[in-house]
Amino acid sequence: MVQSKAEDVDAYLAEVPEERREALGRLRALCRAELSGFREVMAYGMPAYERDGTAEIAFASQKQYISFYLMRSDVREAFEERLAGQDMGKGCLRFRKPELIDFDLVRDLLKATAAGPGQVC
């Protein structure tokens, strides 16, 4: 998906490929459940979750995969062992198929992010 021009997350989810909609909706539900005090926004054409005006989490439907952006370097370092086997870029987890998303890992990353502020890369 090219960068979305959707004005809100509902509109974003309505335009993603059908085979990814359920998984992306589940990511959204996890973010909303675990990131209390965060604000859901559209940033850089994708759903993002901000604390004090700074995005710390985001997700997106890319052409070849679903991305989960973890912009907190301290959380990435704390989960280094669990992230070792994942397809990971500098700040994102890439899931080539919706059924490969490790929702337990995502939940734990969200909980760690919500626990307190930290350095955003």
SS (H, E, C) 30-62: HHHHHCCCCEEEEECCEEEEEECCEEEEEEEEC
Residue 74 banded pLDDT, cuts 50, 70, 90: very high
The tokens describing 59, both together, are: 């997700």
Work out whether the CA dihedral 103, 105, 106, 110 comes out positive or negative.
Answer: positive
Q: Give the tens place of pLDDT for each residue, 12-68.
A: 999 999 999 999 999 999 999 999 999 999 999 999 999 999 999 999 999 999 999
CA 25, CA 28: separation in Å to the nearest integer?
5
> What confidence score (pLDDT) does residue 118 get?
86
Per-residue confidence (pLDDT) for residue 3, from 0 to 100: 77
Q: Is the pLDDT of residue 2 over 80?
A: no
- List, in order, residues 6 or more apart from 101 with CB less than 8 Å away: 23, 26, 27, 66, 68, 95
pLDDT at 61: 95
pLDDT band, residue 89 (cuts 50/70/90): confident
| Residue type (1 letter), 114 | A
The residues, ordered by sequence, that sit 6+ positions from 6 with a Cβ below 8 Å of its Cβ are 12, 14, 15, 42, 45
Task: Delineate the domains of the chain, giving CATH numbers in brackets.
Answer: 9-113 (3.90.1150.200)
Predicted local distance difference test score (pLDDT) of residue 1: 52
The pLDDT of 84-88, averaged and rounded, is 91
Phi-psi region of 57 (alpha: psi -120 to 50; beta: other; left: phi over 0): beta
Share of the chain above pLDDT 70, in %: 98
How large a percentage of the chain has pLDDT more than 90? 87
